[in-house]
Amino acid sequence: MSILFPRLLPSESDRIFSGIRGRAPSELSAQAGNSSLRAVFAATGGTRVTRDELRLLAATIEKLAIEAGYPDASSTAQRSQFDRAVARHLHQSSGMTPGEASQRQVWAFLGLVLVPHVCAWRFPMKDGTYVADRFKGSDLTRHTLARLWTRAHVLHDSAAPDPYALLDALGEADLDQVMARRRAIAATPTLVRAIVRAHVEDSNIGEDIPARAVLRDSLQRLLRLTAFLDLDWLPEEEILQLVREQRIESRKHLDVA
């Protein structure tokens, strides 16, 4: 049975977000909660998450943030630590299904009601203003928590000793390069896993050719291929071999350049 999460309607999301302008994470912590009188649930399709379950989820996310430096300013390494730990937990323990995870209003509730202080810490204000996408879920690839669940879901490998090991393989910027291409690449989990695996196993990159350059050039090549190839029907091993071939071509191109 799937778990249903509270949803904030767009007007309520706008109202709450407008109220956090200029407020520090410590101030937002005081208003965090596990319910809202203006939240709604899907009418059918599962069992509603309980307040106790939401309280536990919030406590765990906050604990992982504290381990990564919250409420103080964090380093790049600490932010990556937080992202990876929360991605694992959200996907493994929240009970959220892909259907619920596709709902922007679910993430608006989590970002604006459940843990607004953690979102504010992870993506601090610039010029006294927070970025709306990090809280409201208008773009799930940029929402503080939604992007993490999606990464864990796409990179999850149930056959591996550690099903979430691929989460640790790429840095934030490089993984963003992959996941931001939602339709052409990120929509095919086997392709995403193949890209990450090939990046990890590729030990032939010359010292004068940065791994990031090879990754990004090969992504452009894959984008051109996906314009006329349907990879959803290919076995995972064939997709991995295709990615390896594109990396080889990228190294040749970059070596000449």
Q: What is the pLDDT of residues 72-103, one digit of tens each?
A: 999 999 999 999 999 999 999 999 999 999 99
One domain for residues 202 and 114: no
**Paired sense of beta strands 39-40 and 47-48, if any:** unpaired
CB neighbours (10 Å) of residue 81? 17
One domain for residues 131 and 192: no
One domain for residues 175 and 155: no
pLDDT, position 203: 59
Decide: helix, strand or coil at residue 55: helix
One domain for residues 202 and 152: no
pLDDT, position 113: 98
Is residue 204 pLDDT above 60, yes or no? no
**Minimum mean pLDDT among 19-28, 71-80, 177-186: which range?**
177-186
Is residue 49 pLDDT above 60, yes or no? yes
pLDDT, position 232: 81
Domain boundary among 128, 160, 192: 160
Share of the chain above pLDDT 90, in %: 74
One domain for residues 82 and 10: yes
Domain count, the chain: 2
CA dist 218 and 112 (Å) reads 37
Task: Report angle CA 66, 67, 73 to the nearest 5 degrees.
Answer: 60
Segment 33-53 mean pLDDT: 93
Burial of 75 (0-12, 13-18, 19+ CB in 10 A): exposed
One domain for residues 86 and 26: yes
pLDDT, position 94: 94
Is residue 109 pLDDT above 80, yes or no? yes
Is residue 192 pLDDT above 60, yes or no? yes
- What is the per-residue pLDDT across 220-249, written as a single tens digit (0 to 9) for each? 999 999 888 888 888 999 999 999 999 999
Domain boundary among 134, 160, 186: 160
More confident residue, 232 or 5: 5
pLDDT, position 243: 95
Burial of 110 (0-12, 13-18, 19+ CB in 10 A): buried
Domain boundary among 138, 160, 182: 160
One domain for residues 73 and 130: yes
Average pLDDT over the chain, rounded to an integer: 92
One domain for residues 130 and 185: no
More confident residue, 173 or 29: 29
pLDDT, position 257: 59
Segment 35-62 mean pLDDT: 94
Write out the residue range of the structural domain in which residue 84 sits. 1-160
Taking the complete model, does pTM exceed 0.75, yes or no? yes
One domain for residues 107 and 233: no
One domain for residues 27 and 85: yes
Is residue 206 pLDDT above 60, yes or no? no
One domain for residues 205 and 156: no
